[in-house]
Chains A and B, each alone.
Chain A
């Protein structure tokens, strides 16, 4: 079996993220990390491999060359190899362009199962998986909190606004997992040491047959027109607990007549 896990590198959660006012894009110059939601997808792929045996886990991303570093975390966890589409012409790709590029890499890899994390922590979209599934013309199950598999069929349990659904799809399929699906493992020292020597491929758009007009801003159909300040919030108070917090909360509740 072959599993492809699509991941994104995002600004480290401890770093102050900002948007570049010139380019109107997210400033990605700071420390990068593997999108935490994608770590759940990597973990799920490794669990399927432990169950099935004889499975290759390929981690795929679109981003600048330095994204290879955070992607190696997936190798340290146990994934087999990395494929990164790194091409300056792809910068600023929106959903339409990004899904086209990822679908082109996935066509080339032809996995039995494509896994996504639920969403990116920096854009909160949760939309890429459905666009990629449509381009690949494969069945989709999103928001999966429990994944099982038998005889070429995957079964996902997921939560919606109305309760729980159970959906089945034949392989090859696209599945997006929720962060409730598993507790990701920490890479072992041996895993970290071994990660650097695993295959790590960097591809240009040309190598996957995507033209320059189909990628980046030229291939995108949305644009950022302007950036602004959010509407002013009411007064918010934030205190550090020094032992007096319970009393202060009580006083606040009394002042606001909430008790």
Chain B
């Protein structure tokens, strides 16, 4: 196996999930290289050696400054074809999903996505993928090379193996259509709020709250429990609550001692941000909501009835 791992970076640091995938790739054996694309990123490259990369291929170009997928597909096509890689691995993110899928079409290579494990069985790479709300596990394979894979976020922990990498720069032609989309504003956080990552208790609200005013009862319960308030992507995008409080794939990853999910269906994008919470309590009116599959204690019912009463009971208990 000759594997290439796509390294994502933000504000001068390599992204943790992609280092996790790199560590995993190194543990599977074969030749493992990494690739880093951007502007002013060459200094970051050597770091990847500690996580198992032998070479880090770097294309440092002003045209790669914005984290847009299409020019990255061009660069990766050049590298994969020229370097003879048979396997290309990505940690899932908004950017890398687009890069991986574009590259699959370009190289006519199979892409298995949402993988939660990678193993080698009888000398062949196999991806493990939960499906249908994680109720079935699929062993996903490839019928030709190159094999492309997107690994669910938060799956592999980075582990330092103490190696060092040789940094190799390369160039690639970037196509006109790949440069047609331009970033006009980037990573602009719209609101500041308290940090939820350090909280021991989190009470999170979703679309089931019915509107921004629904967060009042979530805040009351959080206060009674001495915790912080979090929100799902859907309600943050709808403007009900600030982005800084968002938990999930495109928000924060949290692991409090107690996570209370109020009016949250628990789609996979949310699950990856809170699944390592020690205790999960869910209140939702839909008995089929995926969150009940992994909540330690689930209540099917009307949150508007339950949450205020629970808040009152917790207050009384703590006052006693």
Smallest CB–CB gap between B315 and chain A, Å? Answer: 11
Residues on the A chain within 8 Å of B113, using CB: 125, 127
Q: Contact at A241–B281, with CB atoms within 8 Å? A: no
A250 CA to B187 CA, complexed, in Å? 40
A209 CA to B41 CA, complexed, in Å? 44
Task: Please name the residue on chain A nearest to B129 by beta carbon.
Answer: A224
Does B52 touch A at the CB level, under 8 Å?
A: no
Does B136 touch A at the CB level, under 8 Å?
A: yes
> Number of contacting residues on B, CB 8 A?
94
A100 CA to B185 CA, complexed, in Å? 32
Give A104-133 interface residues, CB cut-off 8 Å to B: 122-133
A224 CA to B93 CA, complexed, in Å? 24
Contact of A137 among B103, B177, B306, B310 (CB under 8 A): B177
Task: Please name the residue on chain B nearest to A158 by beta carbon.
Answer: B94
Give B295-314 interface residues, CB cut-off 8 Å to A: 295-302, 305-306, 309-310, 312-314
On whether A159 and B105 interact (CB within 8 A), knowing A19-B132, A229-B137, the answer reads no
Q: Which of B65-73, B157-165, B209-217 contacts A (4 or more CB under 8 A)?
A: B65-73
Give B120-137 interface residues, CB cut-off 8 Å to A: 126, 130-132, 134-137
Q: Contact at B294–A236, with CB atoms within 8 Å? A: yes
Q: Contact at B279–A256, with CB atoms within 8 Å? A: yes
A3 CA to B295 CA, complexed, in Å? 42
Does B101 touch A at the CB level, under 8 Å?
A: yes
Q: Which of B54-62, B78-86, B141-149 contacts A (4 or more CB under 8 A)?
A: B141-149
User: A140-B98, A223-B143, A246-B313 provided; 9 other pairs, C-beta below 8 A?
Assistant: A14-B288, A133-B102, A134-B73, A140-B69, A161-B94, A165-B187, A180-B238, A221-B144, A234-B296
> Contact residues of A with B, CB < 8 Å?
13-14, 17-19, 24, 26, 94-96, 99-100, 122-135, 137-143, 145, 155, 158-170, 173, 178-180, 220-231, 233-241, 243, 245-250, 252-254, 256, 258-259
> Contact residues of B with A, CB < 8 Å?
10, 67-70, 73, 93-95, 97-106, 108-114, 126, 130-132, 134-144, 150, 175, 177, 180-190, 201, 225, 233-234, 236-238, 243, 249-251, 257-258, 268, 279, 281, 283, 287-288, 292-302, 305-306, 309-310, 312-314, 317-318
The contact sample of 5 A-B pairs, CB cut-off 8 A, is: A145-B237, A159-B237, A223-B140, A241-B306, A259-B314
